[in-house]
Amino acid sequence: MMSINFLSVTAMALILYFGGQAVLADVATLGMLVAFIQYTDQAFQPIRQIAERYNTFQSAMASAERIFRMLDTPATIVDPEHPRALPTPVRGEIAFENVWFTYDTDAAGPDGSGLTDTDDRWVLRGISFTIPAGQAVAVVGATGAGKTSLVSLMARFYDIQRGSIKLDGIDIRELRQTDLRRHVSAVPQDPVCFSGSIASNIRLYDESIGDEQVRRAAEIARAASFIERLPGSYDYEVRERGSNLSVGQRQLLAFARAIAFNPEVLLILDEATSSVDTETEGLIQEALERMIKGRTSIIIAHRLSTIRHADRILVLHKGRLVEDGSHDELLAKRGYYYRLYQLQFAGELNKN
Protein backbone atom coordinates (compact mmCIF):
# COMPACT_ATOMS: atom_id res chain seq x y z
CA MET A 1 0.00 0.00 0.00
CA MET A 2 2.84 2.43 0.78
CA SER A 3 4.34 1.81 -2.67
CA ILE A 4 0.99 2.41 -4.38
CA ASN A 5 0.50 5.66 -2.45
CA PHE A 6 4.01 6.79 -3.40
CA LEU A 7 3.36 6.12 -7.10
CA SER A 8 -0.01 7.90 -6.89
CA VAL A 9 1.49 11.03 -5.28
CA THR A 10 4.40 11.00 -7.77
CA ALA A 11 1.98 10.79 -10.70
CA MET A 12 -0.05 13.70 -9.32
CA ALA A 13 3.11 15.80 -8.87
CA LEU A 14 4.21 15.15 -12.49
CA ILE A 15 0.73 15.98 -13.82
CA LEU A 16 0.63 19.24 -11.85
CA TYR A 17 4.15 20.18 -12.96
CA PHE A 18 3.83 19.49 -16.71
CA GLY A 19 0.09 20.25 -16.83
CA GLY A 20 0.60 23.54 -15.07
CA GLN A 21 3.25 24.53 -17.59
CA ALA A 22 0.90 23.57 -20.44
CA VAL A 23 -1.89 25.72 -18.96
CA LEU A 24 0.45 28.70 -18.58
CA ALA A 25 1.62 28.26 -22.18
CA ASP A 26 -2.04 28.10 -23.40
CA VAL A 27 -1.41 24.59 -24.75
CA ALA A 28 -4.11 23.16 -22.44
CA THR A 29 -7.00 24.56 -20.45
CA LEU A 30 -7.43 24.50 -16.69
CA GLY A 31 -10.50 22.23 -17.09
CA MET A 32 -8.38 19.68 -18.98
CA LEU A 33 -5.84 19.67 -16.12
CA VAL A 34 -8.53 19.14 -13.46
CA ALA A 35 -10.17 16.38 -15.53
CA PHE A 36 -6.80 14.65 -16.02
CA ILE A 37 -6.13 14.75 -12.25
CA GLN A 38 -9.52 13.18 -11.50
CA TYR A 39 -9.09 10.48 -14.17
CA THR A 40 -5.65 9.61 -12.80
CA ASP A 41 -7.03 9.35 -9.25
CA GLN A 42 -9.82 7.06 -10.49
CA ALA A 43 -7.24 4.93 -12.30
CA PHE A 44 -5.34 4.38 -9.05
CA GLN A 45 -8.46 3.46 -7.01
CA PRO A 46 -8.64 -0.22 -8.10
CA ILE A 47 -4.88 -0.53 -7.64
CA ARG A 48 -5.26 0.74 -4.07
CA GLN A 49 -8.09 -1.76 -3.46
CA ILE A 50 -5.94 -4.61 -4.75
CA ALA A 51 -3.11 -3.55 -2.42
CA GLU A 52 -5.52 -3.37 0.52
CA ARG A 53 -6.88 -6.84 -0.24
CA TYR A 54 -3.33 -8.12 -0.49
CA ASN A 55 -2.56 -6.78 3.01
CA THR A 56 -5.71 -8.46 4.36
CA PHE A 57 -4.73 -11.69 2.62
CA GLN A 58 -1.25 -11.59 4.16
CA SER A 59 -2.74 -11.08 7.62
CA ALA A 60 -5.15 -13.99 7.08
CA MET A 61 -2.30 -16.22 5.91
CA ALA A 62 -0.33 -15.45 9.07
CA SER A 63 -3.36 -16.34 11.22
CA ALA A 64 -4.04 -19.49 9.21
CA GLU A 65 -0.44 -20.58 9.68
CA ARG A 66 -0.82 -20.38 13.47
CA ILE A 67 -4.14 -22.25 13.33
CA PHE A 68 -2.75 -25.09 11.21
CA ARG A 69 0.37 -25.26 13.38
CA MET A 70 -1.90 -25.78 16.38
CA LEU A 71 -4.00 -28.38 14.54
CA ASP A 72 -0.84 -30.23 13.48
CA THR A 73 0.51 -30.34 17.04
CA PRO A 74 0.41 -33.99 18.15
CA ALA A 75 -1.75 -34.74 21.17
CA THR A 76 0.25 -35.44 24.30
CA ILE A 77 -2.71 -36.94 26.19
CA VAL A 78 -3.86 -40.02 24.27
CA ASP A 79 -6.33 -42.81 25.00
CA PRO A 80 -4.96 -46.32 25.65
CA GLU A 81 -5.21 -48.92 22.88
CA HIS A 82 -7.21 -51.21 25.14
CA PRO A 83 -9.12 -48.97 27.58
CA ARG A 84 -10.68 -50.33 30.72
CA ALA A 85 -14.25 -49.66 31.77
CA LEU A 86 -15.22 -48.11 35.08
CA PRO A 87 -17.31 -50.29 37.39
CA THR A 88 -21.04 -49.57 37.46
CA PRO A 89 -22.16 -47.60 39.33
CA VAL A 90 -19.18 -45.25 39.63
CA ARG A 91 -18.57 -44.50 43.31
CA GLY A 92 -16.02 -41.69 42.94
CA GLU A 93 -13.17 -42.90 45.16
CA ILE A 94 -9.92 -41.08 44.31
CA ALA A 95 -6.41 -42.26 45.16
CA PHE A 96 -3.12 -40.45 44.51
CA GLU A 97 -0.21 -42.88 44.89
CA ASN A 98 3.32 -41.40 45.02
CA VAL A 99 2.53 -38.83 42.31
CA TRP A 100 5.41 -36.82 40.84
CA PHE A 101 4.70 -34.19 38.21
CA THR A 102 6.47 -31.43 36.26
CA TYR A 103 5.44 -29.26 33.33
CA ASP A 104 8.97 -29.55 31.88
CA THR A 105 8.25 -32.85 30.12
CA ASP A 106 11.18 -32.53 27.70
CA ALA A 107 13.72 -32.45 30.53
CA ALA A 108 11.96 -34.99 32.75
CA GLY A 109 11.15 -37.61 30.12
CA PRO A 110 8.06 -39.84 30.20
CA ASP A 111 9.06 -41.48 33.49
CA GLY A 112 10.71 -38.48 35.17
CA SER A 113 14.17 -40.05 35.05
CA GLY A 114 15.64 -36.89 33.56
CA LEU A 115 15.20 -35.00 36.83
CA THR A 116 16.55 -35.79 40.27
CA ASP A 117 14.18 -35.85 43.24
CA THR A 118 15.65 -32.57 44.51
CA ASP A 119 15.22 -30.71 41.20
CA ASP A 120 13.26 -27.45 41.55
CA ARG A 121 11.28 -28.17 38.39
CA TRP A 122 9.07 -30.73 40.14
CA VAL A 123 5.64 -29.23 40.83
CA LEU A 124 4.34 -32.19 42.86
CA ARG A 125 6.65 -34.47 44.84
CA GLY A 126 5.55 -37.89 46.08
CA ILE A 127 1.90 -36.95 46.75
CA SER A 128 -0.14 -39.81 48.28
CA PHE A 129 -3.67 -39.69 49.71
CA THR A 130 -7.06 -41.36 49.30
CA ILE A 131 -10.44 -39.65 49.16
CA PRO A 132 -13.33 -42.03 49.94
CA ALA A 133 -16.43 -41.78 47.77
CA GLY A 134 -18.67 -38.87 48.75
CA GLN A 135 -16.07 -37.01 50.81
CA ALA A 136 -15.39 -33.28 50.30
CA VAL A 137 -11.71 -32.32 50.51
CA ALA A 138 -10.27 -28.80 50.46
CA VAL A 139 -6.73 -28.20 49.17
CA VAL A 140 -4.88 -25.21 50.63
CA GLY A 141 -1.39 -23.84 50.42
CA ALA A 142 0.65 -20.84 49.37
CA THR A 143 0.83 -19.67 45.77
CA GLY A 144 2.88 -22.14 43.73
CA ALA A 145 2.35 -25.04 46.13
CA GLY A 146 0.76 -27.18 43.39
CA LYS A 147 -2.96 -26.89 44.21
CA THR A 148 -4.26 -26.21 40.70
CA SER A 149 -1.87 -28.79 39.23
CA LEU A 150 -3.25 -31.41 41.61
CA VAL A 151 -6.82 -30.84 40.41
CA SER A 152 -5.81 -30.57 36.73
CA LEU A 153 -4.14 -33.98 36.96
CA MET A 154 -7.35 -35.53 38.31
CA ALA A 155 -9.17 -34.41 35.13
CA ARG A 156 -6.17 -35.66 33.13
CA PHE A 157 -5.38 -32.34 31.52
CA TYR A 158 -1.76 -33.48 31.95
CA ASP A 159 -0.08 -36.84 32.51
CA ILE A 160 2.10 -37.51 35.52
CA GLN A 161 5.70 -38.74 35.27
CA ARG A 162 5.66 -41.12 38.26
CA GLY A 163 3.06 -42.82 40.41
CA SER A 164 -0.62 -43.25 39.61
CA ILE A 165 -3.97 -41.53 40.03
CA LYS A 166 -6.91 -43.91 40.42
CA LEU A 167 -10.66 -43.53 40.14
CA ASP A 168 -12.47 -46.41 41.82
CA GLY A 169 -9.24 -48.42 41.79
CA ILE A 170 -8.49 -47.93 38.07
CA ASP A 171 -5.57 -45.81 36.84
CA ILE A 172 -7.08 -42.89 34.92
CA ARG A 173 -4.49 -43.43 32.16
CA GLU A 174 -6.19 -46.76 31.44
CA LEU A 175 -9.53 -45.03 30.79
CA ARG A 176 -10.80 -43.22 27.72
CA GLN A 177 -10.74 -39.48 28.31
CA THR A 178 -14.43 -39.21 27.45
CA ASP A 179 -15.27 -41.93 30.00
CA LEU A 180 -13.22 -40.20 32.69
CA ARG A 181 -14.61 -36.71 32.05
CA ARG A 182 -18.16 -37.99 31.88
CA HIS A 183 -17.88 -38.58 35.62
CA VAL A 184 -15.73 -35.54 36.49
CA SER A 185 -16.93 -31.92 36.32
CA ALA A 186 -14.89 -28.79 36.98
CA VAL A 187 -16.05 -25.34 38.08
CA PRO A 188 -13.37 -22.77 37.17
CA GLN A 189 -12.74 -19.45 38.87
CA ASP A 190 -13.52 -17.60 35.62
CA PRO A 191 -16.39 -19.57 34.05
CA VAL A 192 -16.79 -19.51 30.29
CA CYS A 193 -20.19 -18.52 28.89
CA PHE A 194 -21.13 -18.99 25.25
CA SER A 195 -23.34 -17.02 22.92
CA GLY A 196 -26.81 -18.56 23.24
CA SER A 197 -29.63 -19.03 25.70
CA ILE A 198 -29.27 -19.58 29.44
CA ALA A 199 -30.57 -23.15 29.02
CA SER A 200 -28.05 -24.00 26.29
CA ASN A 201 -25.24 -22.62 28.45
CA ILE A 202 -26.28 -24.95 31.28
CA ARG A 203 -26.73 -28.07 29.15
CA LEU A 204 -23.80 -27.17 26.85
CA TYR A 205 -25.98 -28.01 23.83
CA ASP A 206 -26.35 -31.61 25.04
CA GLU A 207 -29.93 -32.40 24.02
CA SER A 208 -30.00 -35.46 26.30
CA ILE A 209 -30.35 -33.01 29.22
CA GLY A 210 -33.99 -31.94 29.22
CA ASP A 211 -35.55 -28.65 30.28
CA GLU A 212 -36.72 -30.07 33.60
CA GLN A 213 -33.19 -31.23 34.42
CA VAL A 214 -31.84 -27.78 33.52
CA ARG A 215 -34.36 -26.09 35.83
CA ARG A 216 -33.64 -28.47 38.68
CA ALA A 217 -29.88 -27.90 38.33
CA ALA A 218 -30.45 -24.13 38.41
CA GLU A 219 -32.56 -24.45 41.57
CA ILE A 220 -29.93 -26.55 43.35
CA ALA A 221 -27.22 -24.07 42.31
CA ARG A 222 -29.32 -21.12 43.59
CA ALA A 223 -29.25 -19.69 40.06
CA ALA A 224 -33.00 -20.01 39.39
CA SER A 225 -33.84 -16.80 41.27
CA PHE A 226 -31.81 -14.52 39.00
CA ILE A 227 -32.59 -16.51 35.83
CA GLU A 228 -36.35 -16.18 36.31
CA ARG A 229 -35.99 -12.40 36.66
CA LEU A 230 -34.30 -12.13 33.24
CA PRO A 231 -36.39 -11.29 30.14
CA GLY A 232 -37.28 -14.64 28.64
CA SER A 233 -36.04 -16.55 31.70
CA TYR A 234 -34.18 -19.67 30.47
CA ASP A 235 -34.44 -18.43 26.86
CA TYR A 236 -32.57 -15.21 27.70
CA GLU A 237 -29.77 -14.67 25.18
CA VAL A 238 -26.30 -14.62 26.73
CA ARG A 239 -23.70 -12.60 24.87
CA GLU A 240 -20.24 -13.89 24.04
CA ARG A 241 -18.26 -14.61 27.25
CA GLY A 242 -21.34 -13.68 29.30
CA SER A 243 -20.72 -9.95 28.97
CA ASN A 244 -24.36 -9.17 29.88
CA LEU A 245 -24.16 -11.18 33.14
CA SER A 246 -22.39 -10.27 36.38
CA VAL A 247 -19.44 -12.26 37.74
CA GLY A 248 -21.63 -13.86 40.41
CA GLN A 249 -24.31 -14.81 37.88
CA ARG A 250 -21.74 -16.45 35.62
CA GLN A 251 -20.39 -18.37 38.60
CA LEU A 252 -23.85 -19.62 39.60
CA LEU A 253 -24.40 -20.61 35.97
CA ALA A 254 -21.18 -22.65 36.08
CA PHE A 255 -22.42 -24.42 39.23
CA ALA A 256 -25.73 -25.22 37.53
CA ARG A 257 -23.83 -26.57 34.52
CA ALA A 258 -21.80 -28.91 36.71
CA ILE A 259 -24.92 -30.17 38.53
CA ALA A 260 -26.83 -30.74 35.27
CA PHE A 261 -24.30 -33.38 34.23
CA ASN A 262 -24.58 -35.07 37.65
CA PRO A 263 -20.90 -36.06 38.05
CA GLU A 264 -19.60 -38.40 40.73
CA VAL A 265 -16.44 -36.27 41.11
CA LEU A 266 -16.57 -32.48 41.38
CA LEU A 267 -13.55 -30.19 41.06
CA ILE A 268 -13.84 -26.57 42.27
CA LEU A 269 -10.89 -24.61 40.89
CA ASP A 270 -9.11 -21.63 42.43
CA GLU A 271 -11.62 -20.22 44.89
CA ALA A 272 -14.83 -19.84 42.92
CA THR A 273 -16.08 -17.10 45.29
CA SER A 274 -13.08 -14.78 45.08
CA SER A 275 -14.57 -12.11 42.80
CA VAL A 276 -18.11 -11.55 44.11
CA ASP A 277 -19.85 -9.41 46.71
CA THR A 278 -20.86 -10.67 50.15
CA GLU A 279 -24.51 -11.37 49.27
CA THR A 280 -23.63 -13.32 46.12
CA GLU A 281 -20.90 -15.15 48.01
CA GLY A 282 -23.56 -16.35 50.45
CA LEU A 283 -25.62 -17.74 47.57
CA ILE A 284 -22.56 -19.41 46.07
CA GLN A 285 -21.57 -20.95 49.40
CA GLU A 286 -25.08 -22.34 49.83
CA ALA A 287 -24.97 -23.71 46.27
CA LEU A 288 -21.55 -25.21 46.96
CA GLU A 289 -22.78 -27.01 50.06
CA ARG A 290 -25.67 -28.47 48.06
CA MET A 291 -23.39 -29.51 45.20
CA ILE A 292 -20.82 -31.40 47.23
CA LYS A 293 -23.41 -33.32 49.24
CA GLY A 294 -23.01 -36.98 48.31
CA ARG A 295 -20.26 -36.27 45.75
CA THR A 296 -16.53 -36.73 45.93
CA SER A 297 -15.27 -33.14 45.80
CA ILE A 298 -11.87 -31.49 45.61
CA ILE A 299 -12.01 -27.77 46.38
CA ILE A 300 -9.08 -25.41 45.97
CA ALA A 301 -9.75 -23.01 48.79
CA HIS A 302 -8.39 -19.81 50.26
CA ARG A 303 -11.32 -18.47 52.26
CA LEU A 304 -12.27 -19.83 55.68
CA SER A 305 -15.96 -20.09 54.68
CA THR A 306 -15.02 -22.57 51.97
CA ILE A 307 -12.60 -24.55 54.11
CA ARG A 308 -14.76 -25.14 57.17
CA HIS A 309 -17.54 -27.19 55.57
CA ALA A 310 -15.05 -29.61 53.95
CA ASP A 311 -14.65 -33.05 55.53
CA ARG A 312 -10.87 -32.90 55.21
CA ILE A 313 -8.18 -30.37 54.40
CA LEU A 314 -4.99 -31.23 52.49
CA VAL A 315 -2.15 -28.76 52.99
CA LEU A 316 0.46 -28.49 50.23
CA HIS A 317 3.82 -26.79 50.61
CA LYS A 318 6.39 -26.66 47.79
CA GLY A 319 4.77 -29.58 46.01
CA ARG A 320 4.57 -31.86 49.04
CA LEU A 321 1.60 -32.91 51.17
CA VAL A 322 2.62 -31.67 54.61
CA GLU A 323 -0.65 -31.95 56.59
CA ASP A 324 -3.96 -33.79 56.33
CA GLY A 325 -6.95 -33.49 58.65
CA SER A 326 -10.05 -31.52 59.59
CA HIS A 327 -10.01 -27.78 60.26
CA ASP A 328 -9.98 -28.18 64.04
CA GLU A 329 -7.39 -30.98 63.97
CA LEU A 330 -4.99 -28.92 61.86
CA LEU A 331 -5.41 -25.86 64.06
CA ALA A 332 -4.66 -27.99 67.11
CA LYS A 333 -1.41 -29.22 65.50
CA ARG A 334 -0.20 -25.60 65.21
CA GLY A 335 1.75 -26.48 62.08
CA TYR A 336 1.85 -25.02 58.59
CA TYR A 337 -1.96 -24.74 58.28
CA TYR A 338 -2.10 -22.91 61.59
CA ARG A 339 0.44 -20.38 60.28
CA LEU A 340 -1.57 -19.91 57.08
CA TYR A 341 -4.68 -19.43 59.17
CA GLN A 342 -2.95 -16.81 61.31
CA LEU A 343 -1.85 -14.86 58.24
CA GLN A 344 -5.24 -14.91 56.51
CA PHE A 345 -7.72 -14.98 59.36
CA ALA A 346 -5.90 -13.47 62.33
CA GLY A 347 -8.91 -11.38 63.39
CA GLU A 348 -11.22 -14.36 63.69
CA LEU A 349 -8.54 -16.41 65.43
CA ASN A 350 -8.22 -13.72 68.11
CA LYS A 351 -12.00 -13.82 68.67
CA ASN A 352 -11.79 -17.55 69.29
> pTM of the entire structure?
0.72
Considering 45-49, 100-104, 286-290, the range whose residues carry the highest mean pLDDT is 100-104
Cα–Cα distance for residue pair 178/158, rounded to 1 Å: 15
Helix (H) or strand (E) holding 199: helix 198-203
| Cβ(246)–Cβ(277) below 8 Å | no
Q: Is 68 a residue whose pLDDT tops 80?
A: yes
User: What's the pLDDT tens digit per position in 206-227?
Assistant: 888 888 888 988 888 888 888 8
User: What's the pLDDT tens digit per position in 339-349?
Assistant: 888 876 654 54
- The three-state secondary structure class of 91 is coil
User: What's the pLDDT tens digit per position in 270-298?
Assistant: 555 555 566 666 777 777 777 777 788 88
Beta 94-101 vs 124-131: how paired, if at all? antiparallel
Instruction: Give burial (CB, 10 Å; 0-12/13-18/19+) of 346.
Output: exposed
Cα–Cα distance for residue pair 166/98, rounded to 1 Å: 11
Cα–Cα distance for residue pair 152/175, rounded to 1 Å: 16
Confidence category of residue 136, pLDDT binned at 50, 70, 90: confident
Q: What is the mean pLDDT of residues 307-318?
A: 84
Nearest C-alpha neighbor of 298 from the set 191, 175, 148: 148
Q: Please state, in angstroms and as integers, the Cα–Cα distance from residue 135 to each residue in 30, 92, 265, following that order.
A: 92, 9, 10
Q: Is 352 a residue whose pLDDT tops 80?
A: no
Q: Is 350 a residue whose pLDDT tops 70?
A: no
Q: What is the mean pLDDT of residues 141-169?
A: 88
Average pLDDT, the chain: 84
Give the pLDDT confidence score for residue 280 in this predicted structure.
65
Amino acid (1-letter code) at residue 12: M
